[in-house]
Chain A
């Protein structure tokens, strides 16, 4: 799987209240949620972001609440993937469970700039910066998580297990 697109850059500790503020959580409709994605980090983001774009952030992306609405809003806004130095653990789980590709890479997070065009080779864990002509590597995805992705997310994985037993 190759993911190519334009980058939006964010800093450290982007919390789930910034990704999707609680005032919009009286619904879990992905389309509604996408209208407010990253709004409290950048007011104009929902109108600027285009389907196919990517998010690059620093450390601890997705800290705070367990709301799955956060990766759902990102995915529903058409953002293909998130690359960060590190992710908060519930966000990390949720992203795999719902099928939002995420990658951990110090190098990519430090060197990629706002507006750069990048291409991620998800299987190889290689991130190419087309604008700057650089290449970075992402941390390998643990085998169990790959199994989850391969099954099409946690729900599919569980469905198959139940059927098999």
Chain B
């Protein structure tokens, strides 16, 4: 069996499951945010359950339009708070304690290797980086699981991605996953588990792994997953709030397809409008002028990402034709940025340094694009209208390329500014 099948089997009380089977499995953690939880709450109440299945395993995180951007958003956030109080949920994160959900939960040790996690948010697939099975579902799925602690799944077929070779300077997990999506397309892994492995993955930091699994959904994948190793152990040790278990794939596990990538040949990569699969080498896009740069999100808002952007912009200024918005993904990362002097670097460079929020990533607030404006962002989606007006454009990149582009006011690679 693959690691995905083993985790699904263990959570459905079976010795074995195989691709295509429909199963009912126990979940270790359920999450929802200020956009998706309101529907879950309304639907949960229709079920007529007196309590949630476990008050310590339902996480409500207001992060998308929080800090509350308008009255309607405030009402949605209040629904989360009221419900959390009424049902005594221990995992409600108020503004000031919250962060972008998929950065916050691993950081706080609330998802651990071997877990089965569902979330009413498509990027729930992020936690595969820890060797967990995690996938995005709808609000109604969450409502049902809040009552029963279970969810139905179709066991996905697995696809293997092998990465080998040394990464070039500034090339990161983001470039690998953008390159992969560019290769297989936005439905290249539809309904499938994407298992990432190979020597490059084994030496990739947890931050880079989280970035890669985060974008499995952008290839249509049900989950991204990496077999846990020493890097996983070092990351979860000291932060895991529950016991964890390492699963691995058997040598005779079944894969519907295997892809191999020589990472030494993968360049700094940018996804052009309006699909994540529309990739080009960053170096070929120097004629694209940029109005806004965003560094942040569940994809690239961790401390390593912000350090990378800071390293490039230190002592320089954001181009007069461009605005730059930097958003650490959690309070802990925010504090770390202050302590390390990164916040100061950005303010001196004349960038905005914001409190944690999803904000502009989904065109919510804190940096919306006008018609005709172009942004480069370390986020994960560049669909029409994703960051504002349907006539605006979003390019996706890693933090180093985003920072270099901020300095130049056009898409640029780090070597042009360092």
Contacts and interface: CB of A to CB of B under 8 A. Distances in A.
Interface string B373-400: 0000000010111101010000000000
A15 B190 CA distance: 14
Contacts of A97: 138, 140-141
A93 B138 contact: yes
Interface in B386-418: 386, 388, 390
B364 to A, nearest CB: 6
A162 B144 CA distance: 10
B20 to A, nearest CB: 10
A60 B184 CA distance: 14
B73 A13 contact: no
Nearest to B138: A94
B186 A13 contact: yes
A120 B286 CA distance: 50
Contacts of B138: 66, 68, 90, 93-94, 97-98
A115 to B, nearest CB: 24
Nearest to A148: B152
B109 interface: no
B275 interface: yes
A107 to B, nearest CB: 19
A88 B136 contact: no
Interface stretch (A19-27, A46-54, A73-81, A131-139): A19-27
A81 B364 CA distance: 29
A16 B233 CA distance: 36
A158 B219 CA distance: 31
B141 A86 contact: no
Nearest to B35: A25
B22 interface: yes
Nearest to A143: B22
B137 A93 contact: yes
A93 B386 CA distance: 23
B95 interface: no
A142 B384 contact: no
B2 interface: no
Contacts of B187: 13, 59-60, 63, 86, 88
A64 B381 contact: yes
Contacts of B191: 89
B36 A155 contact: no
Contact of B390 (A25, A40, A64): A40
5 contacts: A21-B363, A21-B390, A26-B69, A65-B362, A94-B140
Interface of B: 22, 35-36, 38-39, 42-43, 46-49, 64-65, 69-70, 72-73, 76, 119-122, 124, 136-141, 143-144, 147-148, 152, 154, 186-187, 190-191, 220, 222, 275, 362-364, 368, 381, 383-386, 388, 390
The 8 closest A-B pairs by CB, nearest first: A94-B138, A26-B72, A60-B187, A97-B140, A22-B362, A66-B122, A40-B385, A158-B144
